[in-house]
Amino acid sequence: MRALQIAFATTLLGLSQVNTASAEDKLTVGVALPRAQLGQPNGANADVAEPVRQVLMSYLKGPVIEVVALEARIPVQIAAEAKEKGCAFVLYTDVAQIAKGGGLKMLKKLAPMAGMLPMLGGGMNSQLAMSAVSQGVMQAQMQDAQEDAMANAMSAINGAQKSNVKAGDSLSLQYRLVRVGEEQPTKSSTIVVKAKANGDDVLSPMLETVATDVVGSVASH
């Protein structure tokens, strides 16, 4: 019985060390608050900056990288905050709406909203079995919180598009992935997609594409 307990404890400790090592191998990407606002000229606008960031972070988070929300608003402060939080890269994004038959309307208004990312911490102690159960509960709670945040963000984005995006309008999503300490982006691109109908959801697939590009770029460095 004693041998079984030791074997069980050793197994759990080994898993904990593997998870710790994996976490240490991850690179951290800081996500700056996007410039993202949907609306027609001379009409009501919907600020979707924080929902866009939450969706991006949900797509980005996984075995390859860690993500953190950066609260600073100007480049020099963003860079300083990213360095302070141990980020390897910073992701900047801009969403612009191109009205049908009109020119590009760059969106510059920023609206602060508190972005909360659940944190999970814990360690092995003498009660290994109980600790494992407790960690499992915390992980389940974290996953639920992340899913709720993702659902709320998607709801806000879709609601804004239904109210403000018209058939023939285009949305432009520009992103820049910058390594901390450097000026030139490691990767940058602009995606433009046209709405086929009023309220068409064109932004969500664009965000997924950006997240896929960013993960691939980070993983290759």
Q: Show me where the domains of the chain are located.
A: 28-109+128-219
Q: Which two tokens stand for residue 124?
A: 């092995």
DSSP-based three-state secondary structure for 47:
strand
CA 145 to the chain's CA centroid: 14
High-pLDDT (> 70) share of the chain, %: 62
Weakest mean pLDDT among 32-36, 104-108, 155-159, 169-173: 104-108
Check residues 120 and 147 and name the one with the higher pLDDT.
Answer: 147
User: So what CATH class is 28-109+128-219?
Assistant: alpha beta
pLDDT exceeds 90 at position 196? yes
Q: What angle do CA 39, 163, 59 make, to 5 degrees?
A: 85
DSSP conformational letter for 183 = S
Query: Whole-number mean pLDDT of the chain?
Result: 74
Place 213 in a pLDDT band, splitting at 50, 70 and 90: very high
Please name the helix (run of DSSP H) or strand (run of DSSP E) that holds residue 201, with its range, or none.
none
d(Cα 119, Cα 193) in Å, to the nearest integer? 35
User: Which CB contacts under 8 angstroms, 24+ apart, belong to 74-83?
Assistant: 78/30, 78/32, 79/180, 79/181, 81/30, 82/30, 82/180, 83/180, 83/181
Place 173 in a pLDDT band, splitting at 50, 70 and 90: very high
